[in-house]
Amino acid sequence: MPRRFPLWPPVPDAVAGGRAAADVRWMRRALEEARAAGDAGDVPVGAIVVHDGREIVAARNRMVQDHDATAHAEMLAIRGAAVAGGDARLGGCTLYVTLEPCAMCAGAIVLARLDRVVFAAWDDKAGFAGSVGDVLRHPRLNHRPEVQGGVLEEEAAELLRAFFRDRRVPATEVGALSGGTDVPR
């Protein structure tokens, strides 16, 4: 099991401290998007792409709304930022996301060559930035973004917990409602 590294590679305290306030501010923006996703009936995950201190794109999970298993917030944010910048490569950009990226999104982050990824809650079941595996910092891949996990972790995790708590239905009804499948992520 790979170890979790909240911050990697290590950066000097002065640099990390200078970024901390901005990271919290942008994560609050991402959390607004996450809440909007939850209000629309999707699992509440939001993402923002920032370049030179400016928001390039904001996106939210739209899996249920779009009937698309790949419509994760990070995928939509990466596509939107690429269109906005006229370039598939997002060097110089930071992605803020409220949940640890899954394998698909971590793969897309590497392909898009994002400089930095900052996420909030860890995802023990599907996270590929250190929980289940680590695509973002895989030694064999030729691009490894800087990764910072756990920014506003508790806020993001509580948003997810509340979403699933509100939707919990008696076990006897689950089969009838979902055809016996698990609650979608």
Residues assigned a catalytic role: 74
Give 147's strand partners: 8, 117
For tokens 């170890």, name the residue.
Answer: 3
CB of 58 vs Zn ion, minimal distance in Å? 16
CA separation for the pair 29, 172 (Å, rounded) = 38
Q: Which is nearer to Zn ion, 62 or 72 (CB)?
A: 72
Q: Residues in contact with Zn ion, total (CB under 5 A)?
A: 3
Indicate the residue among 72 and 137 with the shorter CB distance to Zn ion.
Answer: 72
Nearer to Zn ion by Cβ, of 56 and 106: the residue is: 106
- Residue 70-109 contact track with Zn ion, rule CB under 5 A, x = bound: --x-----------------------------x--x----
In whole angstroms, the minimum distance from the beta carbon of 74 to Zn ion comes to 5
Q: Does 120 bind Zn ion (CB under 5 A)?
A: no
* CB-nearer residue toward Zn ion: 103 or 169: 103
Token pair listed for 110: 């590497």
Q: Which residues of 16-55 are buried (b: 16+ CB within 10 A; e: fewer)?
A: eeebeeebeebbebbbebbeebbeeebbbbbbbbbbeeee
Distances (CA, A) of 89 to 66, 111, 115: 25, 8, 10
Give me the residues paired with residue 95 across strands: 49, 117
Beta carbon of residue 101, minimum distance to Zn ion (angstroms, whole number):
5
Give the footprint of Zn ion on this chain (CB under 5 A).
Answer: 72, 102, 105
